A and B are shown apart, each in its own frame.
Chain A
């Protein structure tokens, strides 16, 4: 057997990072009792607007564009696009009490449309595949830690050789976990997701928590799309490659039992599954069939999760249900 374990792990982590953002964002959203099936659309929007932001900055700044500014702009654009998309979702489902399932699907149609539209528009404007200057590309995809750390055998590559988004994602998941389990606001948010009427009776502003969690969660998910486009796809708009990421992210939420820390290794696992066909070819297995492996595993995960009935592992009790105080 001849394969490079460290290389495989590294690739899995890199490919898992967009999922980590997508999943963590959706965990935050679902903790408030909102089931936003529009993650696919949000990640498209994040990818397209993140790319567009970096691209226009690159154009505007000419030769002396700063890498850090470009990264920040891309982050901000993606986050804002995700917030915008999930704000639509929030308004419809929280304020107007529309069906969450259908609204999420509508957001997917809308978001993938917008993402695709922006990506195409850029391509038409430039006349060919759009791409940003190599210097800027590097500031997205290059390792951020000192070379000496990266040179440590095996661990250097497995732990210290990543771009900034990987560490940002890990920090974000840890912060989210602390928020949910160690802070008052986190307790309130979980209460809203479990039983909005209880939270309401306790004087917690249910609408505010639902809006904030859903909008911020959507923004975080959208960053995942941007990370995909700017690192894995090499700053080229490629909608076929991005398609499916958002849905796997939604499924991962179930797999991770609504816990951000589980998302850390869950996303690496699925990131690995997504690139296995490139890294660990199996002689008899055609790559097209091998490629659907993550989807097959997701389906199996869904089945296994449905078999397990532990009390602590259940979704937030009010997930998917609208709340109306004066219901009678």
Chain B
């Protein structure tokens, strides 16, 4: 029997890093396969070679039993392979139909025809997409749907989805899975890149596990369980439980009331947000991407103009003070630390072209008299972070841009913790990290909590939020839609809160 697609002996290197090492893998028509692996295990790289984004250094690719050479995405489409990337490949200022029309060469250029085709597919699977709507007016889930339509319109038989649920609410995820199952019934081969075990168990027929670029094993989903999959993924038995302790003597540290922020165009980003963060607890913040998480942390850190509202900060054993109206520097000096990991990991909080020492200097550069910067102190801090967090770098002056993602994040979080804050805000601190490094970060947060720090933790993975935090604040469209006890709530409850305020309308990303 011929497979829909088969990889033989595929190897891909980036410099000295081997991203994929002699991978053999196949998937059949009418099958959903999960490609499971930690961040950095080479899942996306492997699939990018099917999509024509990368070209393998060694190995062969067969589609329907025939060897093919996929040099660019055009070849991929010609072979019926379509990939939905994690970062959407859509042109914001184009309509859905214009986006679908990109790269299709069939006779006369006729946008109307494309729009009709989009409508047809949309009706067939129940997508509900308007072909003439501009992408920038769409929600995240709609954008993803356009990506799927794009691939279907080109008649793809093999669909690859790269972590499609990372940006969706639990409810949207379920809808997506229904669609995937419908396409499977249609006889399409579907590859789902993911690192979430519950999704693997729920939707896929077979699971292929990658670890450090190597294909470990492919098993039938029905014949395995999460524990076994995790061991294959990580390479040894691990406990996935976070050692959560009860808050000790929680005292209000940060009291936020009626906080409202607008952006430069007057669009409301935060509306009437109020909550209390206690010392000695971890307050999780959940929400769909772009619901105001970033704005909230920035407002507290003094980086964003506040329309009205108050942020009262009560340091240990000192009088309460109002943070609104203070400069970022004053807020920082008062003991409020922010570790924000943006999508590109750098860009905010770290300077890619500088070494660890100079990055530590971001906190202390204007300390001391005179016009010269003090290099001694930050050098000491860099040494400490380097040793304590086991940062892998040739030297503390090596540009952090060239470090791996995990090490970059250690530098960032390490610096904020080294300032011994009394409020530690972190956003997406484990973004893109492997399981081990993620747990180092979780433990750091736990350690700060034990020291009486008020930890505010913005996360993407609801499972982690439920396991790590004491309470979870759910943001929806810039408003607080609820604060729940992390020990007793369920994912479904949080998921509903993420979409509930404003009648389930989703915020734009």
A residues in contact (CB < 8 Å) with B:
182-184, 187-188, 190-191, 194-195, 197-205, 309, 311-312, 314, 317, 325-326, 328
Cβ of A194 and Cβ of B93 under 8 Å apart?
A: yes
- Chain B residues 90 to 111 lying within 8 A of chain A, measured CB to CB, are 90-94, 98, 101-103, 105, 109
Cβ of B93 and Cβ of A184 under 8 Å apart?
A: no
Question: With the chains together, A203 CA to B71 CA distance in Å?
Answer: 10
Cβ-defined partner of A199 (8 Å) among B14, B77, B102, B150: B102
Q: Which residues of A contact B89 (CB under 8 A)?
A: 195, 197-198, 201-202
Least Cβ–Cβ distance between A73 and chain B, in angstroms: 35
Q: Which residues of A contact B91 (CB under 8 A)?
A: 190-191, 194-195, 198
Q: Which residue of B lies closest to A314 (CB)?
A: B93
Q: Which residues of B contact A204 (CB under 8 A)?
A: 102-103
Question: With the chains together, A198 CA to B72 CA distance in Å?
Answer: 13
Least Cβ–Cβ distance between B105 and chain A, in angstroms: 8
Q: 6 additional contacts, CB 8 Å, given A191-B91, A194-B91?
A: A182-B109, A200-B53, A201-B89, A203-B72, A203-B76, A309-B264
List 4 A-B pairs, minimum CB-CB distance, nearest first: A202-B103, A203-B74, A184-B109, A203-B103
Cβ of A201 and Cβ of B14 under 8 Å apart?
A: no
Q: Which residue of A lies closest to B150 (CB)?
A: A202
Q: A187-B102, A311-B136 are in contact. Are A201 and B85 (CB under 8 A)?
A: yes
Cβ of A198 and Cβ of B90 under 8 Å apart?
A: yes
- B73 contacts partner chain A, Cβ-Cβ < 8 Å: yes
Interface size class of B (residues with CB under 8 A): 20 to 34
Q: Which residues of B contact A198 (CB under 8 A)?
A: 89-91, 102
Q: Which residues of A contact B243 (CB under 8 A)?
A: none
B residues in contact (CB < 8 Å) with A:
14, 51-54, 72-74, 76-77, 83, 85, 89-94, 98, 101-103, 105, 109, 136, 150, 264-265
Q: A201-B85, A203-B73, A203-B77 are in contact. Are A311 and B102 (CB under 8 A)?
A: no
Q: Which residues of B contact A205 (CB under 8 A)?
A: 72
Q: Which residues of A contact B72 (CB under 8 A)?
A: 200, 203, 205
Interface of B, secondary structure class, is loop
Cβ of B14 and Cβ of A328 under 8 Å apart?
A: yes
Cβ-defined partner of A187 (8 Å) among B73, B74, B98, B265: B98
Least Cβ–Cβ distance between B389 and chain A, in angstroms: 24
Cβ of B92 and Cβ of A188 under 8 Å apart?
A: no
Question: With the chains together, A203 CA to B93 CA distance in Å?
Answer: 19
Q: Which residues of B contact A194 (CB under 8 A)?
A: 91-94
Q: Which residue of B lies closest to A203 (CB)?
A: B74
With a 10 A CB-CB cut-off, give which of B74, B85, B90, B91 has the most chain A CB atoms.
B91
Question: With the chains together, A183 CA to B264 CA distance in Å?
Answer: 36
- Identify 30 residue pairs between A and B in the complex whose beta-carbon atoms are under 8 Å apart, listed by A's number: A187-B94, A187-B102, A187-B109, A188-B102, A188-B103, A190-B94, A191-B102, A194-B91, A194-B93, A195-B92, A198-B91, A198-B102, A199-B102, A199-B103, A200-B73, A201-B83, A202-B102, A202-B103, A203-B52, A203-B72, A203-B74, A203-B103, A204-B102, A309-B264, A309-B265, A311-B136, A314-B93, A317-B92, A326-B14, A328-B14
Q: Which residues of A contact B77 (CB under 8 A)?
A: 203
Least Cβ–Cβ distance between A175 and chain B, in angstroms: 16
Question: With the chains together, A195 CA to B53 CA distance in Å?
Answer: 15
Q: Which residues of A contact B85 (CB under 8 A)?
A: 201
Q: Which residue of A lies closest to B51 (CB)?
A: A201
Q: Which residues of B contact A202 (CB under 8 A)?
A: 73, 89, 102-103, 150
Question: With the chains together, A81 CA to B128 CA distance in Å?
Answer: 52
Cβ of A325 and Cβ of B265 under 8 Å apart?
A: no
Question: With the chains together, A314 CA to B136 CA distance in Å?
Answer: 13
Q: Which residues of B contact A183 (CB under 8 A)?
A: 109
Q: Which residues of A contact B109 (CB under 8 A)?
A: 182-184, 187
Q: Which residues of B contact A188 (CB under 8 A)?
A: 102-103
Q: Which residue of B lies closest to A193 (CB)?
A: B91
Least Cβ–Cβ distance between B466 and chain A, in angstroms: 33
Least Cβ–Cβ distance between B428 and chain A, in angstroms: 20
